[in-house]
Amino acid sequence: MRLMVSGGGTGGHIYPALALIERLKQLEPATEILYVGTHRGLEDKIVPAAHIAFKTIQIQGFKRSLSLDNIKTVYLFLKSVRDAKKMIREFKPDVVLGTGGYVSGAVLYAATRLHIPTVIHEQNSVVGVTNKFLSRFVNEIGISFEAAREQFPASKVTMTGNPRAQQVAHSQRNFSWQEIGLVDEKPTMMIFGGSQGAPKINSSVVEAISTFNQRDYQVVFATGQKRYEQVKNQLGDRKIGTNIVIRPYISNMPDMLPKVAVIVGRAGATSIAEITALGIPSILIPSPYVTANHQVKNAQALVDQNAAEMITEDKLNGAALIKAADKLMQNDSLRLQMANAAKNMGIDDAADRLIGLLKRAQQDNK
């Protein structure tokens, strides 16, 4: 298969694509891949680091308010469609996959104009602007949440799940907490607010740290690379117990996750995929800074199945965090129930399902 992939801006669009590519290469080693992104998005570093052929086009999103900048946006979209058509003619893909972000809008629209089979994958419960636009033109649509189904043309939609889930579920490494100075005999809670960290989550942990010192469970806290020194300053001379590890960033997250008893963090699509694939009880703190408040809807899908607790950021502080943490970390049977509920929501063959959709799109187009 010759597959062109486009998705960018955030890790939530990129990591599912990389998981899909990894699985496709396992099944069909001769597969040729070309990833199209932008220089401004995270994909510019992440994709080449994965040794995947990478090209860029220039594009930007519309401003929500009236702005002369939107004239430039229209110009760049039309130019990017022309540039994408040139790349498509040169690469000659059998099928084109879009995983979201403005760049995928131009690439997949160009592919549909050239009558190339196209598939989009929506990771969130609330459909992004780009995928909503593309849904009128593409052959097939894969979703990760049932709530997204009604936002698309019904005849095109298939529940695939998020390919990241399959990648994480099949991680083989046998990690030990002793590698970071903890013990394997105690349940461990992991707290993180994404690669850059989340100020409100960080400040709440700082408030709670003295109480966490006294607990019989362990805490691994990732502050985010840019906020590590800030958190250290906030902690001041507070004692950090031997049951707590504070790091700027966790680079080997897939290794650690199978050992985590409870995870505390945002409700982005990638996090939800990992949580449900592995069956991890969670305390979700949705980011209030995302389009259409989709992280609240992502989290609510788990809460409705008794697979997670949710604390909205406006209600988050040290006391609220301790209360939620104690509820789960001090109740083995509740954690087991929530773990099973989360696992039942997961789709551990998501990458295979999406690959099947790519092949079906090729058949649809014949």
Binding residues for UDP-N-acetyl-alpha-D-glucosamine, by number, are 10-12, 124, 195, 250, 295
Q: How many CB atoms lie within 10 A of CB 50?
A: 16
Give the separation between CA 81 and CA 59, rounded to whole angstroms.
10
Q: Judge contact between 159 and 165, C-beta under 8 A.
A: no
- C-alpha to C-alpha distances, 308 to 40, 58, 106, 158, 315, nearest whole angstrom: 34, 40, 37, 25, 16
Nearest to 165 by CA among 97, 252, 254: 254
Entry field: residues in the chain: 366
Question: How many helices (H) does the chain have, and how many strands (E)?
Answer: 14, 13
Tokens representing 265?
A: 């963090």
Q: Judge contact between 93 and 4, C-beta under 8 A.
A: yes
Residues forming the annotated binding site? 10-12, 124, 195, 250, 295
What 3-state DSSP class applies to 174?
coil
Give the separation between CA 264 and CA 273, rounded to whole angstroms.
14
Nearest to 13 by CA among 96, 148, 128: 128
What 3-state DSSP class applies to 221?
strand
Separation of CA 351 from chain center? 14
Give the separation between CA 261 and CA 77, rounded to whole angstroms.
46
